[in-house]
Amino acid sequence: MSGRAPGASTGREPAGLPLSGVRVLALEQFGAGPFGSVHLADLGADVIKIEDPGAGGDVGRYVPPFAADEDSLFFETFNRGKRSISLDLAQPSGRRVFEDLVRASDAVFSNLRGDVPAKIGITYADLAPLNPAIVCCSLSGYGMTGPRRAEPGYDYVVQGLTGWMDITGEPDGPPTKSGLSIVDFSTGYVAALALVSGLFAARRDGVGMDCDVSLYDTALSMLTYPGVWHLNAGFEPRRTHHSAHPSVVPFQAFQAADGWLVIAAPKEKFWRRLTLALDRPDLAVDPRFRTLADRQRHAEELLPILDEVLAARPVAAWMQLLRAAEVPCGEVKSVADALRDPQTLAREMVLEAEHPRYGTVRTIASPVKVGPRAAVAVRAPRRGEHTDQVLRSLLGYDDARIGAAAAAGAFGAPDGDAS
């Protein structure tokens, strides 16, 4: 069992948050893993980020263009509300500290190559003797099994391997990736779900487990209905003009007189409303366009008509008409406009925290809203900022024990800063 009772306070997290009392050791770097664990921190978990002093910690600290020394806005994005300790697991002294932390924690979360957790001894089989209830969650490129398990995996590469790029972009253009690292971020969510599910079972049964999550599996699962259509009916997905839906027409981007908007008519009622808003009620009774199936069959005839109508007015005029008609629609906004949209502000999706380098640093909140309270925004940690605090308050180490571990290289080179 864990070194403390399930649900016991860590002494750090705000009381009343859903994951208060959960402690997660995070051996993570860059985007996918930290994106998953930041939501756990936002939900009240005590996420202790273990950073390798020999490597300078998480590589995300150095990602340009907004980086100086070991601070970067990239790192801030994925690591708010966590604690950081410097610990060299390759040193026996560092491994001993890690094992003490495992005894006092609920989960070990990593995003390393699929073969690495077993190599460095952080699988359930390795850690169960220390804490039978520990949950070991591995997020990797390709998983802990299979011919690619030892390969490094990155979002862009996986988008290519799993068919995403083959169906993204204009029909006459090259294969195209998403504008964001959607595979990374989706896998972070999957890993967080897997870890929380594992914790639930461990607290119910007293027995932990491995959670094996990968970018590859997540990307394949997100092929969803086009993939199922292919498996069962031989459907061959293809790139669509103006990001159109593969089967619903109209459901795509359209160019207005001064910009772009997205219009969706996935139900017959929306199609009828759209024809009225466009002052083209004749389209609703045209036998070519009456039903979803009709419109899909005759898309090459319908879409040029809609393109011509929508090009005649500016986006704002169309938005006023379409929203009044209750047609699903939205402007294609810039990132800047999206971040200052009234809906963004109303949903409190931009957080502010004080930071020693940036003064006030602004980040984007977790979309996971559970219960009446939200976590107080806390900046990302400096590397090793909480080493001394964690060793003393959590593990009960005294000066002599900390000094001996430091001298043995647990926290980096003995002549370095062990704080």
Domain of residue 79, CATH code:
3.40.50.10540
Q: What is the mean pLDDT of the chain?
A: 93
Q: Are residues 317 and 363 in the same domain?
A: no
Low-confidence stretches of the chain (pLDDT beneath 70): 1-15, 415-419
In the chain, how many H helices and how many E strands?
A: 18, 13
Q: Any idea which residues carry the catalytic annotation?
A: 184
pLDDT in tens, 326-384: 999 999 999 999 999 999 999 999 999 999 988 899 999 999 998 887 778 899 999 99
Helices (H), 326-386: 335-339, 342-346
Please tell me the distance from the alpha carbon of residue 387 to that of residue 177, in angstroms, as a whole number: 39
User: Are 71 and 158 part of one and the same domain?
Assistant: yes
In whole angstroms, what is the distance from residue 372 CA to residue 380 CA? 24
Residue 341 falls within a domain, yes or no? no
Query: Is 250 in the same domain as 380?
Result: no
Amino acid at 214: S
Domain that holds residue 326: 242-255+260-331
Give 17-21 contacts, CB < 8 A, sequence gap 24+.
17/43, 17/44, 17/371, 17/373, 17/375, 18/43, 18/44, 18/370, 18/371, 19/43, 19/44, 19/45, 19/196, 20/44, 20/45
Evaluate whether residue 340 is within a structural domain: no
Q: How many domains does the chain have?
A: 2
Q: Are residues 125 and 202 located together in one domain of the fold?
A: yes
Which CATH number belongs to the domain containing residue 296 in this structure? 3.30.1540.10
Same domain, 27 and 113: yes
pLDDT of residue 11: 44
Instruction: Tally the residues of the chain.
Output: 419
Q: Evaluate whether 99 touches 128 at the Cβ level (below 8 Å).
A: no
Note whether 134 and 272 are same-domain residues: no
Greatest Cα pair distance in the chain? 85
CA separation for the pair 308, 279 (Å, rounded): 13
β partners of residue 149: none
